[in-house]
Amino acid sequence: MICSLQNIPSVVLKSNPKLCKLVLDSSDVKGKGIEYYLALPGWNPIYNSESVDGERWRKLLSIFRKLVHKIDYSERLTQITEKNCQKICNESENIDSMAIQKLTVRVFFELLFRKEITVEDEKLFIDATNEWRRHVAQKGESDFSMKERMVERILHHLHESQFDIEGLQNEFKADKFELVSSFMQPFLISPIINFSDIFCELSLLLKQNQKYQDKLIKLIDEKSDESTIGLHVAMLYEALRLKHPFPILERDLTKDITDGKIVLKKGTHVYVEFDGFTQNQKFQPENWLNADYYKENSWFLFATGPRMCAGRLIALNALEVILKELIRIKQGNFEKLKMWENHKVSGRTNDQAASIKELLFQVKMIFKVFKEILMKRLRN
Ligand code: HEM
């Protein structure tokens, strides 16, 4: 609908992995679809490097890469994550979604700022993230003042940190919000959302597939072989495949593409719909241990092509350590690992039914978008 109003040809792909992969490999443009008109305004006052295009995308991605280089994650992340897993388990008898959010913000804050987060900042960052989450997932208006308070706290920590803020601003000609977004969005807000989504879904899948809980219990004392994907990572991949935290990916085609049967023309806006993608619905993590299967299907995990997840190695490192450590510390007692409990909205179809208030918000947003597009067309 959004595309047809703008006279942009569009297509929805919810099967045909080969064509989806070609789309993602061929273009670095997100375009003006659902993400642009509905999700991006929800990110205000900051920017999401996953959603913007052009000059701003290149700038945010370059700053992100520079930060990754500065934080020495390969030397520090495992130890920081293990320490914080132990801490959260000491504090919480049962690990629910709230505990996963706390753990995630503690790990990534310490990774960035080389100090532990305070109780006050932890609460503010989680609450503010849930404001962003609600608005981006079109579940309701967000509390703008709370978001602004998180921005101010991040700026405060940046000025006290090892990062050369002025140098970064000058090098990339970045304004205050571009700079702060490069720290907040990929390292704090998105991980809090994605990690809690993934652990919510994985713990539900394990509850429904008890034999995999037993397999994980058997692995508690085993040393892992770091040269291959282990069962823990395979289970995380399988949770991503079946219940991905991103409901859709979007691209504007910058050239014609074909899988040999279907031709998609340059200029077409493509929605790759993960929610409801036609695929095997059984939980079969072992498939990921097969190199050919991985090669064929890995595009589904962190996307592929020029816009694929730039933080996937960091994300995977932290996710794997969290999964192993929580099971080890809780001695394989999955009754204490109900990570779906107290889980907030994710924007996926598996959320509970929308309330009237949410529906009204969505209707309001759609009218706003229609008006914006029509005004643009009248002006041109
Ligand atoms: C389990 C957690 C994560 C998942 C499932 C995930 C998934 C993704 C996906 C699918 C995309 C591409 C979106 C698209 O093609 O439309 C993406 C982009 C991105 N991700 Fe992740 N991600 C995760 C965690 C992280 C973390 C922890 C970081 C940073 C440390 C990160 C940094 C980024 C960045 C910077 C981009 C934008 C790349 C670009 O547009 O050029 N991600 N992520």
Q: How far apart are CA 377 and CA 32, in angstroms?
A: 14
Q: Residue 346: pLDDT above 80? A: no
Q: What percent of the chain has pLDDT over 70?
A: 96
Segment 83-124, tens digit of pLDDT: 999 999 999 999 999 999 999 999 999 999 999 999 999 999
- What is the 3-state composition of the chain as percent helix, strand, coil, each rounded to the nearest 5? 60, 5, 35
**Tens digit of each residue's pLDDT (9 = 90 or more) over 179-196:** 999 999 999 999 999 999
What is the average per-residue pLDDT within 317-335? 97
| pTM for the predicted model, two decimal places | 0.94
Atom index in ligand 1 nearest the CA of residue 198 equals: 1
Q: Across residues 24-47, what is the average pLDDT?
A: 95
DSSP letter, residue 51: T
> Is residue 74 over pLDDT 90?
yes
Q: Which atom of ligand 1 is nearest to the CA of 303?
A: 10
> Where does ligand 1 bind, in terms of residues with CB under 6 Å?
49-50, 61, 64, 186-187, 190-191, 194, 198, 240, 245-246, 249, 302-303, 307-311, 314-315, 319
Name the pLDDT band for 353 (thresholds 50, 70, 90). Answer: low
CATH value of 2-333+348-374 in 3.20.20.70, 3.40.50.460, 3.40.640.10, 1.10.630.10 = 1.10.630.10
Per-residue pLDDT at 137: 87
* Domain boundary assignment for the chain: 2-333+348-374
Residues with Cβ within 8 Å of 286's Cβ and at least 6 positions away in sequence, in order, are 231, 234
What pLDDT does 227 receive? 58
The bridge status of strand 10-13 relative to strand 269-273 is: parallel
Cα(375) to centroid of ligand 1, in Å?
33
Question: Quick one: pLDDT at residue 225?
Answer: 64
Asked if pLDDT for residue 302 goes beyond 80, the answer is yes
Ligand 1 centroid–CA 360 distance in Å is 30
**Residues above pLDDT 90, as percent of the chain:** 82
Amino acid residing at 176: K
User: Which residue has the CA at smallest separation from atom 41 of ligand 1?
Assistant: 307
Query: Given this model, what pLDDT does residue 221 score?
Result: 79
d(CA 368, CA 370) in angstroms, rounded, equals 6
Report which protein residue has its CA nearest ligand 1's atom 43: 309
Report, as an integer, the average pLDDT of 357-365. 84
Order across the sheet with 10-13: list the strands.
10-13, 269-273, 248-252
Task: Please give the number of the atom of ligand 1 that sits closest to the Cα of 68.
Answer: 30
- Yes or no: say if 304 and 21 are a contact pair by the CB < 8 Å rule: yes
The mean pLDDT of the chain is: 93
Above 60 in pLDDT, residue 349?
no
| Test site for ligand 1: of 103, 110, 309, 323, most ligand atoms within 8 A of the Cβ | 309
245-280 pLDDT, tens digit per residue, is 999 999 999 999 999 999 999 999 999 999 889 999
Ligand 1 closest atom vs CA 250: 16
Question: Ramachandran region of residue 269, left (φ > 0), alpha (ψ -120 to 50) or beta?
Answer: beta
339-349: string of b/e by CB count within 10 Å (b at 16+)?
A: bbeebbbbbbe
How confident is the model over 284-298, as a mean pLDDT?
Answer: 96
